Amino acid sequence: DSGVTQTPKHLITATGQRVTLRCSPRSGDLSVYWYQQSLDQGLQFLIQYYNGEERAKGNILERFSAQQFPDLHSELNLSSLELGDSALYFCASSVGTANYEQYFGPGTRLTVT
Amino acid sequence: AQSVTQPDIHITVSEGASLELRCNYSYGATPYLFWYVQSPGQGLQLLLKYFSGDTLVQGIKGFEAEFKRSQSSFNLRKPSVHWSDAAEYFCAVGAVEYSGAGSYQLTFGKGTKLSVIP
Chain B residues lying within 8 Å of A97, measured CB to CB: 101-104
Structure confidence at residue B103 as a pLDDT band (50, 70, 90): low
Cis before B79 (ω within 30): no
Q: A-chain residues within 8 Å CB-CB of B107?
A: 45
Question: From residue B101, how far is each of A67, A69, B98 by CA, in Å?
Answer: 17, 18, 7
- Is B106's CB within 8 Å of A90's CB? no
Give the model confidence (pLDDT) of A18-37 as tens digits: 999 999 999 999 999 999 99
Cβ-in-10-Å burial (0-12, 13-18, 19+) of B10 comes to exposed
In terms of CA atoms, which chain A residue is nearest residue B101?
A55
CB pairs under 8 A between A and B: 66
Edge-to-edge strand ranges of the sheet holding A19-24:
A5-7, A19-24, A74-78, A64-68
> B44: which chain A residues are within 8 Å (Cβ-Cβ)?
90, 92, 104
Who contacts B46 (Cβ-Cβ below 8 Å, separation ≥6)? A101, A102, A103, A104, B34, B35, B36, B60
pLDDT tens string B26-80: 987 778 899 999 998 788 999 999 988 889 999 999 999 999 999 999 999 999 9
Mean model confidence pLDDT for chain B: 90
Q: Nearest by CB to B97, which of A56, A100, A104?
A: A56
The proportion of chain B whose per-residue pLDDT surpasses 90, expressed as a percent, equals 72
Task: Show residues of chain A in contact with B32, CB under 8 Å.
Answer: 99
